[in-house]
Amino acid sequence: MVYQRVIRLGAALLVLAMVAAACGDDQGEATTTAASTSSSAGRADGILEIGTILPETGDLAVLGPPMIGAVSMALRDINEAGGVLGQPSS
């Protein structure tokens, strides 16, 4: 009986800690460092690159081509509508 209460209390504290961490403020030194690193290492050509992780092999390979086609269609629609902030996507 006591063991179950301890487990429940531990689980509740874990959930509370995860919620508190998710609601935290991300404005800090680590964010600034990451932003400056990515801006200096990344390309500055103004093109938004969209990446995907889609199945091309294995058991889910049959689902890959329609998803890949959907991504291509979305990129085409975004670019035909003027891109993101006036820049094309790739």
pTM of the model: 0.47
Which structural domain range is residue 89 located in?
45-90
Q: Measured between alpha carbons, how far is 90 from 85 in angstroms, rounded to an integer? A: 14
The answer on 65 and 52 residing in a single domain is: yes
Q: Do 46 and 87 contact (CB within 8 A), yes or no?
A: yes
Encode the chain (90 residues) as per-residue pLDDT tens digits. 777 888 888 888 787 777 777 776 555 544 444 444 444 455 667 777 888 999 999 999 999 999 999 999 999 998 899 888 887 777
The answer on 83 and 58 residing in a single domain is: yes
The answer on 74 and 38 residing in a single domain is: no
The answer on 57 and 22 residing in a single domain is: no
Q: Measured between alpha carbons, how far is 3 from 5 in angstroms, rounded to an integer? A: 5
The answer on 51 and 37 residing in a single domain is: no
End-to-end CA distance of the chain: 58
Q: Do 50 and 71 contact (CB within 8 A), yes or no?
A: yes
Q: Measured between alpha carbons, how far is 64 from 56 in angstroms, rounded to an integer? A: 5
* Structural domain total, the chain: 2
The answer on 13 and 50 residing in a single domain is: no
> What is the distance, to the nearest Å, from the Cα of residue 50 to the centroid of all Cα atoms in its chain?
11
The answer on 79 and 51 residing in a single domain is: yes
